[in-house]
Amino acid sequence: MMKIRSTTVCAVVHNGQVAIGADGQATMGNTVAKSNVKKIRKLMDGKIVTGFAGSTADAFTLLERFDEKLSTYGGNMKRAAIELAKDWRTDRYLRKLEAMLIVANNEEVLIVSGTGDVLEPDNGVATIGSGSMYAQAAAVAMKKHGKEGMTAEDIVRQSLNIAADICIYTNHNLVVEKID
């Protein structure tokens, strides 16, 4: 997988709940260009939520294609993600896009990359972006050893805040969405 710098996106499936969130920082090189970018998008009337890391223009192109695939395949998220990944890997134009996606519905979370990967994490935690490993470690630890009664949203927020404390490309301006 390609290494995407400039954000952190985290999705968690926990106790029958799904939440996804991202920070709001956009960078140009080593400069903060904007601090409140919304990197989470709802599709299919809120039944599917996506988060992106990487080039914003590239991510919007991929989100549009993913939305088209969802329409083509009747809202089947996994099938749409697989078809997008196939196109992304083989299409001359799409192949050059530098972004990654996390897509989630009320049952599962997937990571979609330009290398043709559609990954469903074993532990119910999916992360992408420069702070992804910090957020992933925090989320996995909280799922295993966190306070009783923590929700998926709680875990996403705490994990993103931990990543923002460590990763210079991640800030504390969070957007978190739950899927009901």
As annotated, the active-site residues are 7
Compute the distance between CA of residue 13 and CA of residue 152 in angstroms, rounded to an integer: 6
Compute the distance between CA of residue 151 and CA of residue 178 in angstroms, rounded to an integer: 10
- For the chain, helix, strand, coil in percent to 5 are 35, 30, 35
Pick the closest to residue 78 from 103, 61, 41, 52 (CA basis): 103
Amino acid at 71: S
Give the count of alpha carbons within 13 A of 61, CB side only.
Answer: 16
Partners of residue 43 on adjacent β-strands? 48
